[in-house]
C-alpha cells in the first residue's frame, strides 16, 4: 500500500473492511475512503476498519497523522498530538520515523501530550513511558523537546494534583488536542481510565485495576513489581480531541472490541464513551475484530453469500445455540435463526446437515492418515512451544518415520526466574569443588552472578553471564522435552535469533539477520513440511514476530525454480488458545496415554513449571491449559455428534 504524500491514505479495499453506522464511505479524519463503501448497520456504533496486516495498519494511521502535520505546517500552525504507549502503537511510530528520514516529514510544528505514566516512576527507569517515547519516537525525529509533554511520575505525592491541573491547562493553552492515538486494555480502559471512570474525568492520579497490573506483569518481571497507581488523562480530556484513532490487535482483544463498538455505553468499559465522539475510528486486525457481529455471525445482519466455509461456521454455531447434534437440526431451528436461505440453497435441512457433518469429519486424521517419511521442521518460538502446542502430533510424526528437526527460534532466557540461576550456580560450584578440582573459574563466575542478582532491580536487564545461564537452562529443558517424544539432542537446533536478544520483554523488530538465519536453515534442510506458530494471543508478541521471520525467509528462499520446492506449512497455536474446529484444516485425535506423554514432555521444562514468569491472564500451569484445551476440542466434536475422542489438537494448513 502506498501513502500519498500530503493527503490521508486510504486502505486498499482488499486490506480494509469497514462498517459504519450508515451506508456510504467510511470516514477517517474527515476524509472519505472512496474504495471502502459498506452496507449500513446499527450494531457498530464506532466506525471500525479491519486491516489485518499490521504494517498496513501502521502506514494508514501514520499517513493520517503525517497529512495533518503537513497541512498545519503549510499553514504555519502547530498540530497537537495525543500519544499512547505500549506495543500496539510502536508500528505507527516506526512509520512516522521512516517518513521523517525518507520523505522529510518534520516534527518542528508538533506539540505532543502523552496519555499517562506510572506512579511512582523515575523518567530514566526502563519501565517509564517517558523513556519509552524518547526511545521509540522523539529521539529519532526533529521535535522540539520543549513541545513534548509527558506526565511526571517522579513528583512528590503532594504535588501531583497541581501538576495534573497544569497538564490540563497546557493542553488548553496549546489549543486542544487535534489527533489522539489510543490503544485499548482488556478491561476496555483507554489511557489508565479503569472500570468506573467517569465521563467528566480529567487528568488525575488513579489506582490500577488488578487485570491491568497483571497485563503489565511481563514488562515488570512480576506483578508485585507493577506500580499500583498511574497518572492519566481523563475521559473528558480524551473526548476533547478533535479526532481519535484507537488501535487493537490480537484475539485477546476481540471481546472488548465488540463490547466497545457494539455494546451500550457503560462506565465499566471506558472505551464505550467513544461512541459519543463525532470523529473516532477503530482500527483492528482480523483477530481483534473476530467477535464483531458482521464477522462472527454476518447472517444475523444481512443477506450473505453462502460458501462452504461460511456454511460450516453457521451450522456449527446453530448446533451449539440449539444444543443439538448437527444431524438433528430441523427446519424450525434454521428458520428461527435467520438461516432459511442456507436451507433453500441446498434443498433441505438434512442436506445441509450432512454436508457439514461430513466436512468436519474429513478433518480428523489419526496416525494412519498423517504424513510419513517427510523431512520436517517444527519452528518453536520459545523452547517449550513445540511440546505445549503440538506434542501429540510431534510424537505421531516421529512414529511415522518422518525426519524431524525442532528449531527453537529464541532462547526464552527472560522467562527464567533468578532463583533458578542461583540454584544451578550452586550446583556447579559444588560439583566443581567436589569432582572437578579447585573450582576457581566456576567460583569466580558464581561470585559475579550472585553479586549481580543481589543488586538487581525489578526489570533490570541481566548481565551477559546471567543471560547465558538462563539460555542454557532452557536449551537443556528443550532437549529433555523432545527426548520424551523419541527425539534426541541431534534433532534440536537453537537459532537464538538476534531480535530477541535485548534482555527485555520488548524486542527489536525482525531484521535481515533474523531472516537470514531462518533462510539458511531452510536451504540446509530443504523440508517438505514445516510447523509454524500461528498464535495471535502471545502476550508479548514473540510468536507473531517469529512467524514474520519465517514468512520473509520462505518468500526469499522459494522463488524462481525453487518455488516448486516450497514446503507445506502447518500452523499451530501456542499456550493460550486452540484453533476453532471450524477454522482448523486438520484435527489430530489423542488417546489418554498420548495426552499423558505430552504433559510429561511439558513437565521437563522445569523453569516454567508451577509458576511461569509470563503466564498471561491465565494463572493455570501450561500443562493444565493444554489438557483443558485438547479435551475441549474433542468434546466439541462429540457435542456436534461426530466421533468421540479423549483429546484433540488442531492445525491450519496455510
What gap in Å lies between CA 71 and CA 107, rounded to an integer? 12
In Å, how far are 154, 212, 647 from 460, measured between CA atoms? 18, 21, 41
The string of DSSP letters for 12-37 reads PTTTEEEE-SSSEEEEETTEEEEEEE
Judge contact between 177 and 240, C-beta under 8 A.
yes
Among 582, 593, 586, 558, CA closest to 572:
586
Residue 400, judged by CB atoms within 10 A of its CB (0-12, 13-18, 19+), counts as middle
- Cβ atoms of residues 369 and 522 within 8 Å: no
Residue whose C-alpha is closest to residue 609's, from 473, 487, 407: 473
Neighbours of 3 (CB within 10 A): 19
Q: Which listed residue (44, 95, 117, 194) is catalytic?
A: 194
User: From CA 382, how far away is CA 496, in angstroms rounded?
Assistant: 10
Q: Is 194 an annotated catalytic residue?
A: yes
Residues 6 or more apart whose CB falls under 8 angstroms from that of 93 comprise 62, 136, 137
Collapse the DSSP code of 482 into the 3-class scheme (helix H, G, I; strand E, B; otherwise coil) and give the result: helix
Question: Within its chain, how far is the Cα of 308 from the centroid?
Answer: 29
Distance CA 275, CA 263 (A): 10
Neighbours of 389 (CB within 10 A): 30
Q: In what order do the strands lie in the sheet with 148-149?
A: 16-19, 48-51, 280-284, 243-248, 179-182, 79-83, 110-114, 148-149
**Neighbouring C-beta atoms of residue 391, cutoff 10 Å:** 28
Angle formed at CA 136 by CA 135 and CA 137, multiple of 5 degrees: 100
3-state secondary structure 533-593: ECCCCCCCCHHHHHHHHHHHHHHHHCCHHHHHHCCEEEEECCCCCCCCCCCCCEEEEECHH
Q: How many CB atoms lie within 10 A of CB 437?
A: 10
Sign of torsion over alpha carbons 485, 489, 491, 494? positive
Task: Give just the sign of the alpha carbon dihedral 598, 599, 604, 609.
Answer: positive
- Please state, in angstroms and rounded to a whole number, the distance separating the CA atoms of residues 78 and 406: 54
Cβ atoms within 10 Å of 268's Cβ, excluding its own:
13
Helix (H, G, I), strand (E, B) or coil at 530: strand
Which ranges in 200-285 belong to alpha helices (H)?
210-215, 217-220, 235-239, 254-262
Beta bridge partners of 19: 48
The residues assigned a catalytic role are 194
Amino acid at each position: 500500500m502506498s501513502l500519498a504524500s500530503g493527503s490521508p491514505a486510504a486502505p486498499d479495499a482488499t486490506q480494509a473492511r469497514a462498517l459504519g453506522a450508515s451506508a456510504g464511505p467510511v470516514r477517517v479524519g474527515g476524509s472519505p475512503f472512496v474504495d471502502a463503501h459498506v452496507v449500513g448497520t446499527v450494531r457498530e456504533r464506532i466506525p471500525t476498519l479491519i486491516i489485518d496486516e499490521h504494517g498496513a495498519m501502521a502506514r494508514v494511521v501514520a499517513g493520517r497523522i503525517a497529512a495533518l502535520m503537513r497541512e498545519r505546517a503549510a499553514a504555519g500552525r502547530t498540530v497537537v498530538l495525543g500519544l499512547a504507549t505500549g506495543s500496539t502503537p510502536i508500528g505507527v511510530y516506526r512509520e512516522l520515523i521512516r517518513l521523517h528520514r525518507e520523505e522529510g516529514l518534520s516534527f518542528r510544528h508538533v506539540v505532543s501530550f502523552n496519555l499517562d505514566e506510572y506512579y511512582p516512576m523515575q523518567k530514566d527507569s526502563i519501565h517509564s513511558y517517558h523513556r519509552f517515547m524518547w526511545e521509540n519516537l522523539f529521539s529519532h525525529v526533529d521535535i522540539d523537546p520543549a513541545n513534548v509533554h509527558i506526565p511526571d511520575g517522579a513528583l512528590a505525592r503532594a504535588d501531583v494534583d497541581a501538576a495534573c491541573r497544569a497538564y490540563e491547562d497546557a493542553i488548553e493553552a496549546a489549543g486542544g488536542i487535534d489527533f489522539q492515538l489510543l490503544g485499548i486494555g482488556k478491561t476496555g480502559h483507554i489511557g489508565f481510565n479503569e472500570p468506573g471512570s467517569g465521563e467528566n474525568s480529567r487528568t488525575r492520579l488513579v489506582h490500577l485495576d488488578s487485570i491491568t497490573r497483571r497485563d503489565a506483569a511481563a514488562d515488570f518481571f512480576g506483578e508485585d513489581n507493577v506500580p499500583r497507581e498511574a497518572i492519566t488523562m481523563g475521559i473528558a480530556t480524551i473526548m476533547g480531541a478533535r479526532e481519535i484513532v484507537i488501535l487493537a490487535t490480537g484475539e485477546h482483544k476481540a471481546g472488548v472490541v465488540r463490547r466497545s463498538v457494539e455494546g451500550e455505553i457503560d462506565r465499566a468499559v471506558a472505551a464505550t464513551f467513544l461512541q459519543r465522539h463525532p470523529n473516532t475510528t477503530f482500527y483492528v486486525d482480523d483477530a481483534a475484530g473476530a467477535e464483531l457481529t458482521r464477522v462472527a455471525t454476518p447472517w444475523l445482519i444481512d443477506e450473505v453469500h453462502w460458501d462452504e466455509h461460511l456454511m460450516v461456521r453457521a451450522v456449527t454455531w446453530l448446533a451449539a445455540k440449539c444444543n443439538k447434534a448437527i444431524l438433528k437440526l430441523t427446519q424450525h431451528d434454521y428458520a428461527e435463526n435467520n438461516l432459511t436461505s442456507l436451507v433453500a440453497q441446498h434443498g433441505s435441512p438434512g442436506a445441509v446437515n450432512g454436508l457439514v457433518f461430513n466436512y468436519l469429519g474429513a478433518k480428523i486424521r489419526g496416525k494412519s492418515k498423517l504424513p510419513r517419511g517427510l523431512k520436517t521442521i517444527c519452528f518453536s518460538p520459545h523452547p517449550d512451544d513445540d511440546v505445549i502446542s503440538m506434542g501429540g502430533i510431534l510424537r505421531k510424526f516421529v512414529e511415522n518415520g518422518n525426519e524431524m528437526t525442532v528449531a527453537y527460534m529464541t532462547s526464552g532466557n527472560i522467562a527464567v526466574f533468578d532463583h533458578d540461576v542461583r540454584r544451578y550456580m550452586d550446583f556447579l560450584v559444588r560439583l566443581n569443588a567436589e569432582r572437578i578440582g579447585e573450582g576457581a573459574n566456576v567460583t569466580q563466575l558464581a561470585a559475579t552472578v550472585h553479586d549481580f542478582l543481589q543488586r538487581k532491580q525489578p526489570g533490570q536487564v541481566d548481565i551477559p553471564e546471567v543471560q547465558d545461564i538462563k539460555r542454557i537452562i532452557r536449551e537443556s529443558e528443550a532437549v529433555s522435552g523432545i527426548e520424551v517424544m523419541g527425539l534426541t539432542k541431534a534433532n534440536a537446533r537453537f537459532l537464538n535469533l538476534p531480535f530477541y536478544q535485548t534482555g527485555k520483554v520488548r524486542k527489536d523488530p525482525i531484521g535481515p539477520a533474523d531472516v537470514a538465519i531462518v533462510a539458511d536453515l531452510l536451504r540446509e534442510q530443504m523440508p517438505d513440511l514445516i510447523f509454524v506458530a500461528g498464535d495471535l494471543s502471545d502476550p508479548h508478541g514473540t510468536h507473531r514476530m517469529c512467524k514474520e521471520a519465517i514468512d520473509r525467509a520462505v518468500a526469499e528462499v522459494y522463488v524462481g525454480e525453487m518455488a516448486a520446492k516450497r514446503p507445506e506449512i502447518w500452523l499451530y497455536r501456542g499456550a493460550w488458545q486452540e484453533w476453532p474446529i471450524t477454522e482448523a484444516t486438520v484435527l489430530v485425535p489423542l488417546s489418554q496415554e498420548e495426552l499423558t506423554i505430552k504433559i510429561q514432555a511439558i513437565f521437563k521444562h522445569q523453569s516454567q513449571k508451577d509458576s511461569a514468569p509470563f503466564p498471561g491472564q491465565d494463572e493455570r500451569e501450561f500443562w493444565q491449559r493444554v489438557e483443558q484445551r485438547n479435551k475441549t476440542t474433542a468434546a466439541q466434536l462429540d457435542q456436534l455428534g461426530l466421533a468421540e475422542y479423549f483429546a484433540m489438537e488442531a492445525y491450519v494448513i496455510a
